[in-house]
Amino acid sequence: MSLQVLSEKIEKKTAKIAVIGLGYVGLPVAALFAEAGFDVLGIDIKAKRVEEINAGNCPIEGKEPGLAELFGKVVAAGQLRAATDYKELKDYEIITISVETPVDENNKPRYEALRSVLEELGPVIKEGALVIVESTIAPGTMDQLVQPLLEDISGKRVGEGFYLGHCPERVMPGKLLANLRGVSRVCGGDAPGTAAAMCELYAHVVEAELDPATCITAELVKTAENAYRDVNIAFANEVALVCESLGGDVWQVRDLVNKSPGRNMLLPGAGVGGHCIPKDPWLLIANAGDSFTPRLIPAARAVNDGMPLHVVNLATEALREVGIDITQAKVVVLGYAYLENSDDTRNSPSAVLVKCLEELGAQVVIHDPWIPEYQGNLEKALENTDAAIVMVAHDEYRALDLHRLRQIMQTPVIVDGRRIFKQGQARIAGVFYRSVGVGYQEN
């Protein structure tokens, strides 16, 4: 099948689309293409998830406006179904891949999931199919891994037997549909014609600009944009640490800095989590070669990785001020997801914090309204505790009454990693309060 024929099928919506990996990216992507009128098949290795999807139950929880409704509609209409068997892909002209691409303990890319997908896909790939990797990958991966592996296993050649592209997602939990529809995409193709066909495809679901490019450009853009964010968060966190040491208030400093034209200081906090930002900076520099020595990106990663441990130090100092040793304290951690109002726990800063607290000997209680194993009555979780550490700005925590909290807790100490409260509020309520980025003399 030629690209011209494929483009005609895309225009008429007769091209059959398969989405491999039905997680935070793949599932909403599949739902949107189904809503646009395409026949969509989702492939996932988790049989329970496949069963749940085919039953019309959206497996993604948290506040995701419109997702459950859209998902239910397209499944009921027969536009979207799921399976575990790759053999079902033999008739599909377009295959997108959205699987995890983590880094190992040495911050090097781990492509077990991607390799596994390619090894399963290769033997069944249809002649002239377009394979699009949406997973975020290190620059050079399409040329060095994806293309040679898929060619070897399929016995076909890129540009002849199949076409290859990279269109990295730009989404975050809580805004999945809004991001997929409203944020521009880079369509990197193995050739200009492939990139053009990808733009035609994504135009059915993306309302923003679509930019044709090469695969290496698409790889660089995605990893660079997340490294950019990581570096800027690290700057905010380091300014927060400076403010603490000098008795300043980083939240006031940030507001005033951002009044200067062209300045956009980001929010400091208790740590950086999620699937993307903690590892994408490492992907950006993974294949840069021995002639290049990165300095800024590793430094930013060190700052951000250190924030949960800094919160532990704040809690230790706050408890000491009220006469309690951390080794004897009962501490409630408020929030285990990495993002407010989400059930996504990938690379959660809270996991680092909890491990450190337990190693110090503290008794730790965890509460999170979005994580099944940590759900429950919030007041019950706060009962008879010596300190509450706010790690995630869930709406339920923002609504906490500090006067009521003071009555419930054994020792009313709050360590605020997301600045959801103010020092004045805490003082009026009689709560001992410490916040990331606020010097102790401010209390």
Catalytic residues: 222, 276
Asked whether the beta carbons of 410 and 436 are under 8 A apart, the reply is: no
What does the alpha-carbon distance between residue 125 and residue 16 come to, in Å, rounded to a whole number?
13
- The angle formed by the CA atoms of residues 74, 87 and 90, to the nearest 5 degrees, is 80
Written in H, E and C, the secondary structure of the chain is CCHHHHHHHHHHCCCCEEEECCCCCHHHHHHHHHHCCCCEEEECCCHHHHHHHHCCCCCCCCCCCCHHHHHHHHHHCCCEEEECCHHHHHHCCEEEECCCCCECCCCCECCHHHHHHHHHHHHHCCCCEEEEECCCCCCCHHHHHHHHHHHHHHCCCECCCEEEEECCCCCCCCCHHHHHHHCCEEEEECCHHHHHHHHHHHCCCCCCCEEEEEHHHHHHHHHHHHHHHHHHHHHHHHHHHHHHHHCCEHHHHHHHHCCCCCCCCCCCCCCCCCCCCCCHHHHHHHCCCCCCCCCHHHHHHHHHHCHHHHHHHHHHHHHHHCCCCHHHCEEEEECCCCCCCCCCCCCCHHHHHHHHHHHHCCEEEEECCCCHHHCCCHHHHHCCCCEEEECCCCHHHHCCCHHHHHHHCCCCEEEECCCCCCHHHHHHHCCEEEECCECHHHC
